[in-house]
Amino acid sequence: MKSFASDNNAGVHPGIMAALDACNEEHVVGYGDDIYTKKAIKTFKSFFNDQTDVFFVYGGTGANVLAISSVCSSFESVICAQSAHINVDECGAPEKFSGAKLVDIPVPNGKLTPELIKPSLHGFDFEHHSQPKLISISQPTELGTVYTLDELKALRQLADAYNMYIHIDGARIANAAVYLGCSFKEMTIDCGIDVCSFGGNKNGLMFGEALLFFNKKISQKFKYIRKQAMQLHSKMRYISAQFDEYLQSALWKKNALHSNKMAGLLLTEIQKFSQIKVTQKVETNAIFVTLPKDVISKIQKESFFYDWNEHIGEVRWMTAFDTSEQDIENFVNILRKYLK
Amino acid sequence: MKSFASDNNAGVHPGIMAALDACNEEHVVGYGDDIYTKKAIKTFKSFFNDQTDVFFVYGGTGANVLAISSVCSSFESVICAQSAHINVDECGAPEKFSGAKLVDIPVPNGKLTPELIKPSLHGFDFEHHSQPKLISISQPTELGTVYTLDELKALRQLADAYNMYIHIDGARIANAAVYLGCSFKEMTIDCGIDVCSFGGNKNGLMFGEALLFFNKKISQKFKYIRKQAMQLHSKMRYISAQFDEYLQSALWKKNALHSNKMAGLLLTEIQKFSQIKVTQKVETNAIFVTLPKDVISKIQKESFFYDWNEHIGEVRWMTAFDTSEQDIENFVNILRKYLK
Amino acid sequence: MKSFASDNNAGVHPGIMAALDACNEEHVVGYGDDIYTKKAIKTFKSFFNDQTDVFFVYGGTGANVLAISSVCSSFESVICAQSAHINVDECGAPEKFSGAKLVDIPVPNGKLTPELIKPSLHGFDFEHHSQPKLISISQPTELGTVYTLDELKALRQLADAYNMYIHIDGARIANAAVYLGCSFKEMTIDCGIDVCSFGGNKNGLMFGEALLFFNKKISQKFKYIRKQAMQLHSKMRYISAQFDEYLQSALWKKNALHSNKMAGLLLTEIQKFSQIKVTQKVETNAIFVTLPKDVISKIQKESFFYDWNEHIGEVRWMTAFDTSEQDIENFVNILRKYLK
Amino acid sequence: MKSFASDNNAGVHPGIMAALDACNEEHVVGYGDDIYTKKAIKTFKSFFNDQTDVFFVYGGTGANVLAISSVCSSFESVICAQSAHINVDECGAPEKFSGAKLVDIPVPNGKLTPELIKPSLHGFDFEHHSQPKLISISQPTELGTVYTLDELKALRQLADAYNMYIHIDGARIANAAVYLGCSFKEMTIDCGIDVCSFGGNKNGLMFGEALLFFNKKISQKFKYIRKQAMQLHSKMRYISAQFDEYLQSALWKKNALHSNKMAGLLLTEIQKFSQIKVTQKVETNAIFVTLPKDVISKIQKESFFYDWNEHIGEVRWMTAFDTSEQDIENFVNILRKYLK
């Protein structure tokens, strides 16, 4: 039985394995100057636009930290949600590498709004104060919620007013796109996003992440930042080939639709339990619920998942591209053993 | 035809591809708490010893920089060869992440000796001076040469006298081991090495590098350093499974023996050219030669390789695990076109 | 007329000028190996204890950042009040230099409590999470309030339970000591404080700050940290002589008593204005009040002071060691012009 | 008797003490927005030009490190002499704070030349290589030698060819200016220097250093860098007033002329000793000599000075603004006791 712990517990999609095999021929120059990487970049441009600068890095933390480092000088600051991955799950990597300050804002549903951000936008031109320069949001958020296009555009308007940039942590960006039913371009470039961490590991890839710059002001020197940040892979083709397949074959969409759908299915089932309270809107592939505290560990022993907030007995259940209806049925059966 | 540009231009060995396929089943917990990683760590311990602490990271630059960060405070320094990869090929990554100073020493053949190092060992306890703390060597060196076991032990003796640590950059460590005809343990633990970057990408792996600590004083907090340095892979099994196969099946040895042998073959052939002068001892899979400057670019156009020292017309030719005798014959035919 | 903008707007006390003159003789060795520095360290030890390690740095930001760097690895975190100087007034210096994360906690009166801190003490041993290592408090706080000895001891108990350290930002530590009527030792060592930034600039000194370590585990390598942090003064005697005089002559107490007293006097006066609302307890030499927004800038034009919270019309008034009763009378006269 | 250990062992010139007293009146706004700082900046501009951006910091290490941080991104490098203060005497502060790499070049007399630098100017546009961006020289050098104006202009020409900047570490810049008999402007702006650490502590000041930018491209964000680097003094007037007096009263010239002259006098005397060999041209206030190793420590016990190169028995003697002819006579008498 597959777990509901995290979508990164899933394996690699067979289509990706095949793409890795397919590129495993002959010698090619290292570090990205190869046909597979050129092709993948071209494919990315076709999904975004021709002005998009595409760089591959090793993983999500690297992509996020390097996005910050590309935009911010060390004396500048990043506005983010208190629940943001960059704020709570990267062991201080953003601060260590960029030197910039993270200004984290409590948000009930994972989403920043202009109203929530504004009180933190002060001290401009005052050298004692880290200068606000970047708004970093997660799409979908760490709570599974999704910014609407209008919400993204409202952030852009705010950023414009303060000469700031916007970064999307898109670790699960495909799940957001299929939820909104829009293209990647509509959700990024058309909303005025400047830079996007485009992830795939949680949706069937093996390793690697793409960092996409939609604003050439911040990408000019990026190749040096990537190398110095230990994020330049020598045998680059094995990242590129995955992303090319992922986009070309619409695997991103198929897998994201599936995991979102499975979350919907699980949601339907758990709504039948009076003791389970859903705490966040289920818009992608994560479900947050509270359970009686005494049964949480019992259920975890049979099928592991993570505590989210131990104080209130909140846990997270995630579906993946390979979650089956049978997996859900099995899990619900376990729930049934311990809950009325 | 395969190039002689670099062993990292080669693809992934079929045995490694098979291992990746084999581990691609079901869900496992991310970040290394999985059966594949546990097995790979156990295998590494069997090749080194039970006290060895094994951590997987994304790549060689990451392994080297994190080895330095584990040993050195920012006010300490690293003694290395002027030709060391950490000194010339990592875009300042060691300085940026660790804050430590690199003290680079000119070495004719890539190898440090106690005599070459000693003049840099001064200023101890003097707060104006970065405190020497780590000797970092490459085995084999960037010039293809190999430290003998006695040479390694002599460095250990020096390090002991100054309370210093020793790091091996083992990007091609297998090639050194087969050259010396010794085990990995004999070349590291038995010579008093403290920490080793154990690479495989240049010998048939896809991605990932192991960082091996033989001294528990410096590994206690490493898991945090790895995460903060953006080097913790979520789907860890895909690194672990490669290394497990690489060691268990003796692929490391088979591939390294082959590439070393191919270098020997190429060496034999080029010694027939009076215009080619071999500038370094050929002990592993790299050959450094000088050529008439006017023909270098012509040959590169037919089969790409890197300039090493443009001032003197020095270039590097490398063989790989998949270099064939036919590849060498083809390359020598090209040489023959331009050289007497 | 003297302003009520900040105690750092005041000049240098004549006694300190005299001490600077007195040490201005002959040659002495630089960087602290001189009789004036040895004497000042001895004096500090007599005020704290013999085990105290005393280091002089250039200023308060340096002292705070270096205290953090002495305690925390970059993957560890600092718990502090949201209003802490290190969090809002040092342009990200702590993050930049130490790499550590600041976890800031909203506090109504500038003071942290175990209850406020506890929700942030989680994720221990979890490599994705910056490890909480240091509690940094300001005594008095940036809001002029003072931790009681019992409150300090309660923080120590919490720190012990989590294997953490405590730092005091004592930019105005003398004002806290005279408010509590206790010795410096009672307020630090006896409460289990580990390291203290001991300031004097706001109380009559010209430049320099002392960093006092009460825990030898964190001071062993400090001399290197200080030098690398650009905080080692060559002509050290000119810092040492100031602090020696400041302590020996009880100038610290005389000046702090005076500025606290002047704040009390001003408080009495402003309580007569119905339009002025005091927002924080006045325990040292700072007064926080709200005023009708439309008169703030008018008053500032006649006697400058800083806005604290523009949204609610809150401003800060500070007294200094040289504030006179006449200064207060003059200021109150200005207030009277604009307020009923 | 005054020592010949270092010019920073001297005290503060009485004229500077008087200037400190003179500015010690009333309240002024902190952090540089005061009349004394405005006046000092105006004075500096009159010595350089109106476009010069003037910032005061705490000391020489801070000035040098911040000059580097203003020019270089972390993936860029600084070309400097192996004997440069930034390379050997700042405990790795430049690397730690800027993240940039120092490329140090052996120089026999402390002076870089285009010929010496050129071999290090490679790898441009190659992301594996730290990009050369700044040439940092010391004027006078750490060996007491002085770049001629032509030598400076030759470096400018080189820098132009590679799109690089030039920094002067002017810890003893006055001694160089009086040696060359030129103005500060002729030695900096007119030679195309971009940024200069302008020191005074070694020539009679108490604390503080000026960082002068002659190129507005690199000074725009400097105020934030200074604050984040813990180099912004709150009671700024006490740095400004010193520099204003130092320049206005021509104290810089008087003191530098005197210490240079005293070095010349000492040189004349020691040339009478056959066992003393002068190893560097004496152009400012430093004399480097070799002595029989067995007598060095004996002489040091009577009058302390620093070893420079213990291997060859080389030591450094420095004169200061307050060195008297009697001091020299006394010192020569000591030499006479131990040397023929």
Give backbone dihedrals phi and psi of B64, rounded to 5 degrees, phi first.
-65, -45
Q: Which tens digits make up the pLDDT trace of D109-134?
A: 999 999 999 999 999 999 999 999 99
> Whose structure tokens read 């050195």?
B72
Over residues B280-291, the mean pLDDT reads: 98
Residue-level pLDDT at C2: 86
Q: Which of A3, A233, A320 is the closest to B59 by Cβ?
A: A233
Radius of gyration of chain A, Cα coordinates, nearest whole angstrom: 20
Would B1 be classed as within a structural domain? no
pLDDT of B340 above 90: no
Closest CA to B198 of B182, B216, B179, B177: B177
User: How many beta-carbon pairs under 8 angstroms link B with D?
Assistant: 58
Would A159 be classed as within a structural domain? yes
In 3-state terms, what secondary structure has residue B99?
coil
Q: What distance in Å separates residue A98's CA from the closest CA in chain C?
A: 8
| Residue A187 and residue A148 in one domain | yes
Q: Which tens digits make up the pLDDT trace of B132-141?
A: 999 999 999 9
By the 8 A CB rule, do A242 and A205 touch?
yes
Contacting residues of A for B228, CB less than 8 Å apart: 90-93, 96
Q: Which tens digits make up the pLDDT trace of A179-238?
A: 999 999 999 999 999 999 999 999 999 999 999 999 999 999 999 999 999 999 999 999
Would D3 be classed as within a structural domain? no
Closest CA to C54 of C69, C75, C65, C40: C40
Q: Which of C248, C264, C293 is the last residue of a domain?
A: C248
Q: What distance in Å separates residue D96's CA from the closest CA in chain B?
A: 4
Calculate the alpha carbon distances from C323 to C251, C261, C290, C317 in Å.
15, 10, 22, 12
Closest CA to D196 of D220, D172, D160, D169: D169
In 3-state terms, what secondary structure has residue A68?
helix
Would D8 be classed as within a structural domain? no
Could you tell me the sign of the dihedral formed by the alpha carbons of D78, D80, D86, D89, in that order? positive
Q: Which tens digits make up the pLDDT trace of D267-293?
A: 999 999 999 999 999 999 999 999 999
Omega within 30 of 0 (cis) for the link into D114: no
The answer to whether B49 faces chain C, any CB pair under 8 Å, is no
Q: Which tens digits make up the pLDDT trace of B241-277?
A: 999 999 999 999 999 999 999 999 999 999 999 999 9
**Amino acid identity for residue B24 in this structure:** N
The answer to whether D91 faces chain C, any CB pair under 8 Å, is yes
pLDDT, one tens digit for every residue, chain C (340 residues): 689 999 999 999 999 999 999 999 999 999 999 999 999 999 999 999 999 999 999 999 999 999 999 999 999 999 999 999 999 999 999 999 999 999 999 999 999 999 999 999 999 999 999 999 999 999 999 999 999 999 999 999 999 999 999 999 999 999 999 999 999 999 999 999 999 999 999 999 999 999 999 999 999 999 999 999 999 999 999 999 999 999 999 999 999 999 999 999 999 999 999 999 999 999 999 999 999 999 999 999 999 999 999 889 999 999 999 999 999 999 999 999 999 7
Give the C-alpha separation, B219 to B211, whole Å: 10
Closest CA to D3 of D335, D339, D302: D302
The residues, any chain, with a CB within 8 Å of residue C192's CB and separated by 6 or more, are C152, C153, C156, C159, C160, C166
| Residue B326 and residue B239 in one domain | no
Residue of B nearest to C70 (CA): B73
Closest CA to D117 of D78, D90, D60: D78
Give the C-alpha separation, C24 to D27, whole Å: 26
Half-sphere exposure for B334 (CA within 13 Å, toward CB): 20
Half-sphere exposure for C304 (CA within 13 Å, toward CB): 10
The residues, any chain, with a CB within 8 Å of residue A190's CB and separated by 6 or more, are A149
Q: Which tens digits make up the pLDDT trace of C119-138?
A: 999 999 999 999 999 999 99
Residue-level pLDDT at B323: 97
The answer to whether A324 faces chain B, any CB pair under 8 Å, is no
Domain that holds residue D243: 13-248
Q: Which tens digits make up the pLDDT trace of D295-328?
A: 999 999 999 999 999 889 999 999 999 999 999 9
Contacting residues of D for A128, CB less than 8 Å apart: 31, 227
Give backbone dihedrals phi and psi of B159, rounded to 5 degrees, phi first.
-60, -40
For chain D, the residue count is 340
* Contact residues, C window 191-250, toward D, CB-based 8 Å cutoff: 201, 206-207, 224, 227-235, 238
Q: What distance in Å separates residue C127's CA from the closest CA in chain B?
A: 5
Dump the DSSP string for C163-219: T-EEEEEETTHHHHHHHHT--HHHHTGGGT--EEEE--GGGT-SS-EEEEES-GGGT
Query: Are A8 and B234 within 8 A, CB to CB?
Result: yes
Q: What distance in Å separates residue B153's CA from the closest CA in chain A?
A: 31
pTM: 0.97
Q: What distance in Å separates residue C127's CA from the closest CA in chain A?
A: 7
Give the C-alpha separation, C225 to D188, whole Å: 33
By the 8 A CB rule, do A39 and A338 touch?
no
Query: Are B227 and C128 within 8 A, CB to CB?
Result: yes
What is the domain-level CATH number for residue B85?
Answer: 3.40.640.10
Give the C-alpha separation, B196 to B66, whole Å: 11
Give backbone dihedrals phi and psi of C320, rounded to 5 degrees, phi first.
-130, 175
Calculate the alpha carbon distances from B315 to B290, B311, D62, D253 in Å.
6, 11, 42, 55
Give the C-alpha separation, A158 to C200, whole Å: 42
Query: Are A91 and B227 within 8 A, CB to CB?
Result: yes
Tokens of D113: 């030349």
| Residue D259 and residue D233 in one domain | no
In 3-state terms, what secondary structure has residue D49?
coil
Max intra-chain CA distance, chain D: 60
Q: Which of A208, A233, A248 is the last residue of a domain?
A: A248
Q: What distance in Å separates residue C215's CA from the closest CA in chain D?
A: 24
Tell me whether residue D307 is exposed, middle or buried, using C-beta atoms within 10 angstroms of its C-beta: 0 to 12, 13 to 18, 19 or more. middle
By the 8 A CB rule, do A34 and A240 touch?
yes
| Residue D58 and residue D194 in one domain | yes
| Residue C275 and residue C168 in one domain | no
Residue-level pLDDT at A291: 95
Over residues A141-168, the mean pLDDT reads: 98
Test mutation, C95, C234, C285, C324, chain D, max D CBs within 10 A:
C234
Confidence band of D2 (pLDDT split at 50, 70, 90) = confident
Query: Are D93 and C2 within 8 A, CB to CB?
Result: no
By the 8 A CB rule, do B72 and B241 touch?
no
Query: Are C228 and B75 within 8 A, CB to CB?
Result: yes
Contacting residues of B for C227, CB less than 8 Å apart: 75, 127-128
Residue-level pLDDT at C234: 98
Would C1 be classed as within a structural domain? no
pLDDT of A314 above 80: yes
Q: Which of B31, B75, B224 is the closest to C75 by Cβ?
A: B224
In 3-state terms, what secondary structure has residue D34?
coil
Over residues A301-312, the mean pLDDT reads: 94
Q: Which of B248, B281, B309 is the last residue of a domain?
A: B248
Q: What distance in Å separates residue C230's CA from the closest CA in chain D?
A: 5
User: How many beta-carbon pairs under 8 angstroms link B with C?
Assistant: 36
Closest CA to B58 of B204, B174, B210: B210
pLDDT of A1 above 90: no
Helix axes A251-270, A173-180, angle to 10 degrees: 80
pLDDT of A340 above 90: no
The answer to whether D178 faces chain C, any CB pair under 8 Å, is no
The answer to whether B77 faces chain D, any CB pair under 8 Å, is yes
Confidence band of A2 (pLDDT split at 50, 70, 90) = confident
| Residue C25 and residue C93 in one domain | yes
Dump the DSSP string for D73-108: -TTEEEEEETT-HHHHSSTTHHHHHH-PEEEEE--T
Calculate the alpha carbon distances from C160 to A259, C49, C77, C156 in Å.
45, 21, 16, 6
Q: What distance in Å separates residue B131's CA from the closest CA in chain C?
A: 9
Contacting residues of C for B99, CB less than 8 Å apart: 228
| Residue D67 and residue D200 in one domain | yes
Tokens of B338: 């331009």
Omega within 30 of 0 (cis) for the link into C140: yes
Return the percentage of chain B with pLDDT > 70, whole number: 100
Q: Which tens digits make up the pLDDT trace of A78-108?
A: 999 999 999 999 999 999 999 999 999 999 9
Half-sphere exposure for A298 (CA within 13 Å, toward CB): 11
Residue-level pLDDT at C340: 77
Q: What distance in Å separates residue B187's CA from the closest CA in chain A?
A: 26
ipTM above 0.90, yes or no: yes
Would A7 be classed as within a structural domain? no
**Amino acid identity for residue A69 in this structure:** S
By the 8 A CB rule, do C198 and C104 touch?
no
Residue-level pLDDT at D267: 98
| Residue C39 and residue C105 in one domain | yes
| Residue D184 and residue D157 in one domain | yes
Query: Are A75 and D232 within 8 A, CB to CB?
Result: no
**Amino acid identity for residue C224 in this structure:** Y
| Residue B239 and residue B331 in one domain | no
Q: Which tens digits make up the pLDDT trace of D25-66?
A: 999 999 999 999 999 999 999 999 999 999 999 999 999 999
Q: Which of C89, C90, C130 is the closest to A91 by Cβ?
A: C130
> Whose structure tokens read 């080692």?
C232
Dump the DSSP string for A227-238: HHTT---SSTHH
By the 8 A CB rule, do B317 and B7 touch?
no
* Contact residues, B window 260-319, toward A, CB-based 8 Å cutoff: 304
Would C148 be classed as within a structural domain? yes
| Residue A114 and residue A260 in one domain | no
Q: Which of A8, A65, A322 is the closest to B30 by Cβ?
A: A8
Would C3 be classed as within a structural domain? no
Closest CA to B74 of B63, B65, B83: B65
By the 8 A CB rule, do A142 and A83 touch?
yes
Q: Which tens digits make up the pLDDT trace of D79-112?
A: 999 999 999 999 999 999 999 999 999 999 999 9
Q: Which of C91, C95, C122 is the closest to A129 by Cβ?
A: C91
Residue-level pLDDT at D340: 77
Residue-level pLDDT at A93: 98
Residue-level pLDDT at B2: 86
N-to-C CA span, chain C = 23
Q: Which tens digits make up the pLDDT trace of A235-283?
A: 999 999 999 999 999 999 999 999 999 999 999 999 999 999 999 999 9
By the 8 A CB rule, do C128 and A89 touch?
yes
Residue-level pLDDT at C114: 98
The answer to whether D101 faces chain B, any CB pair under 8 Å, is yes
| Residue D235 and residue D310 in one domain | no
The residues with which D198 forms a beta bridge, in sequence order, are D170, D210
What is the domain-level CATH number for residue B309?
Answer: 3.90.1150.10
The answer to whether C115 faces chain B, any CB pair under 8 Å, is no
Number of structural domains in chain B? 2
pLDDT averaged over every residue in chain D? 97
Residue-level pLDDT at D287: 98
Give backbone dihedrals phi and psi of D159, rounded to 5 degrees, phi first.
-60, -40
Give the C-alpha separation, B154 to B160, whole Å: 10
The answer to whether A130 faces chain C, any CB pair under 8 Å, is yes
Q: Which of C75, C224, C228 is the closest to B225 by Cβ?
A: C75
Test mutation, A101, A115, A131, chain C, max C CBs within 10 A:
A101
The answer to whether B127 faces chain D, any CB pair under 8 Å, is yes
Could you tell me the sign of the dihedral formed by the alpha carbons of B132, A225, B226, B193, in that order? negative
